[in-house]
Chain A
Amino acid sequence: MVEIFEALGEVLTLHSLLFLLVGCVVGILFGVIPGLTATMGLALILPFTFALEPTHGLILLMGMYVGGISGGLVAATLLGIPGTPSSIATTFDAYPMSKNGEPVRAMGIGIGASVIGGTVGFIFLIFLSPIIAQFAVQLTPADFASLILLSLSLIAVLSADNMIKGITAGVLGVGVSLVGFAPIDGTARLTFGSIQMQAGVEILPLIMGLFAVAIIHSEVQNDQVIEDINLKVKGMAVSLKEVVKNKFNLLRSTLIGVGLGILPGMGSGASNLIAYAQTKQYSRSPEKFGKGVPEGIYSAESSNNSALGGALIPMLTLGIPGDAVTALLLGGLIIHGIQPGPLLMAENPEIVNVVYWGFFFSILLVFVLQLLGLRIFPRVLLMPKQYLFSFLLVMTVVGTFAMNHRMFDVWVMIVFGIIGYILMKAKYPLAPLVLGFVLGPLFEDYFRRALMDMETPVGFLTSPLSAIFLILTVSVLLITFIQEIKKTQTKRKKN
């Protein structure tokens, strides 16, 4: 424990804090501007860290990591465009709240929830990482498959307003994820002979199309001007009373974030959607979700930030990166001759502690920087539409192209722009589609591995954890369907 505080001295030097500041500012910029991603930012800055001392290099990377993911809040709130998959659920309520004339409040809630989520993630990281990491590696493919199935069952919760439309969108999302090489055997599916399609559909063109392209065109069509933007608010535009009122929501969402952040592939991309669905399920007024309720923002932002800490746990203790961003961080450690894995804690405890503190101070600094921008960022809404939208459209193209240097990805984005527009106009929820897309391939991979490991599918019920997850899945589905039937019956009686 003493070593942790010794590392604190190294992090709190002027040089270290300067690198932290640069990392956080550049990270936030990458998160804020649609088309630029945290992954891109880390890839850009990684070679520069080579010439730095390990402490400074790691601190710079931590700032970029936290800033890049947290910065997604701004574009998601003000423009309805999630810069990263981790901000998708933020758009559902923060954007409507912003359109209702309260952009500062929406951002204030998001910033507050982010710092709470990030701090919880840090606490888990610092105290429980070895234990959690050991537990995570003991999960069998059957446990993983059942857990993902439980997460997929939340599609029903996200579809509560119109079950058929929501489930259709969810199945469509899973279907889209099947395009390209199948896991395990590498057989090409639904590629229709196209070499380009063999790589499958990536998440960035999908979210850029569904959210950015579709929303911008819809906004141009609507011509709805936000006449009364409330930029003059006190403090963070959030009361402590409201935060306390959301204590269980915050606790549940941060725990979901940490828990899913630890699991490879899930991370903050899935955690914000799952936490949002859970909050909606437990809410007394789920019908208000998607129209600008604070609960939705608290949930999405606290879960995606807590997932950041969660994702660092397997990376540091086992050397397993959960996603592309943590894979780059792993690269950063290796560049400095540090080998992540079970021996890292024993061999280089000072490096681990620097990462811990770098992460914590990044959360605090990003919080301060976002607070400073609380009244500046929303002014983007005052920008003339013709300049804002044309700039954003160009950024979607350039950002999507920059991912793989392929025009094919841009065309994929346009196709999803059309699909997103049609679904939006026909009032289909987009959250189940994205959740299906993110979790579909993971489920298939673990499900098939589990079947290859066991003699019969009964093995899913003989593993205690898998059995619990399956029981929970059935419970979630039953409760949601019963609630939906009751709601329909009440409506019929009223009519």
Chain B
Amino acid sequence: MSIADRYIGLVLLFIGGIAVYVAMTMEHPTFNNDPGPTLMLNVVGVLLIICSFGLLLFPKTKKDDSEEEKDKSSDQVFTRKRTLTMFMLFLAFIAYVFLLDILGFIVATLLFLMISAWLISVERTRTFYFVTPIYSVVTCFAIYYVFQDILAVSLPSGVLF
């Protein structure tokens, strides 16, 4: 098991503990012969604790070492740049979801489409700066039209406008 597995094991140990605790303290109606809603909670909680012990205590194998080395050796500078891009994209994605209710679908989506396209693109040529706004406007209004008008899904309209 790798270091990541050890961390995952710790998190699962915590979740398993919570599941067992919730099962032990939960109040619920009882029917004839019914084990109640706590049965599966207990089973899952105990199994998660067992699995977490497996992840925490299983020895590190040669295969794990070679896999970690393989991951590290793969063009690190480039990977760091792309990892940063991924994090930025993820932050933009969370901001988009957060702002949907405030700015409304059209404004938030227009901004997100432009920012995410800018973040993901490797080369930004003149064509990029020309195409991206057109793409964002067309995509945004096409999605809006399909969902709002055809599918009758009321998309967030926002509180600012």
Contacts and interface: CB of A to CB of B under 8 A. Distances in A.
A223 B122 contact: yes
Contact of B150 (A44, A172, A174): A44
A222 B82 contact: yes
A168 B26 contact: no
Contact of B51 (A168, A187, A444): A168
Contacts of A168: 8, 12, 48, 51-52, 54-55
Contacts of B51: 164, 167-168, 171
Contact of A440 (B5, B40, B101, B156): B40
B83 A393 contact: no
Interface stretch (A84-92, A268-276, A394-402): A394-402
Given A187-B28, A394-B109, A414-B97, A405 B89 contact: no
A175 B151 contact: no
16 contacts: A168-B55, A174-B44, A184-B31, A185-B31, A190-B19, A221-B86, A384-B121, A386-B117, A389-B116, A394-B113, A397-B100, A407-B101, A414-B94, A425-B4, A453-B33, A495-B62
A289 to B, nearest CB: 18
A184 B32 CA distance: 12
A175 B36 contact: no
Main SS of the interface on chain B? helix
A95 to B, nearest CB: 19
Nearest to A221: B86
A456 B117 CA distance: 61
Interface string B11-38: 0100100110010001011011111110
A160 to B, nearest CB: 15
Contacts of A444: 39-40
Contacts, number: 167
Contacts of A185: 28-29, 31, 34, 36-37
B154 interface: yes
Contacts of A481: none
Contacts of B105: 398
Contact of B34 (A213, A394, A452): A452
Contacts of A426: 2, 4-5, 8
Interface residues of A, number: 59
Contacts of B89: 217, 220
Nearest to A390: B116
A127 interface: no
Contacts of B94: 414
Contact of B12 (A172, A387, A395): A172
Residue of A44, A175, A190, A405 ringed by the most chain B CB atoms within 10 A: A175
B86 A217 contact: yes
A447 B83 CA distance: 45
A390 B117 contact: yes
B31 A189 contact: no
A171 B34 CA distance: 22
Given A171-B47, A175-B15, A391-B139, A44 B117 contact: no
B129 interface: no
A448 B48 contact: no
A119 B32 CA distance: 46
Given A171-B47, A184-B31, A220-B85, A387 B117 contact: yes
A434 interface: no
Given A168-B12, A390-B117, A398-B155, A221 B85 contact: yes
Given A174-B44, A182-B37, A451-B33, 4 more contacts: A172-B48, A387-B117, A394-B112, A401-B153
A411 interface: yes
A174 B44 CA distance: 7
Given A175-B19, A452-B31, A402 B153 contact: yes
A405 B29 contact: no
B58 to A, nearest CB: 6
A411 B33 contact: no
Residue of A178, A187, A390, A398 ringed by the most chain B CB atoms within 10 A: A390
A166 B139 CA distance: 39
Contacts of B22: 189-190
Interface string A150-194: 000000000000001101100110110010001011010110000
Interface string B117-151: 11111100000000010010001100100010011
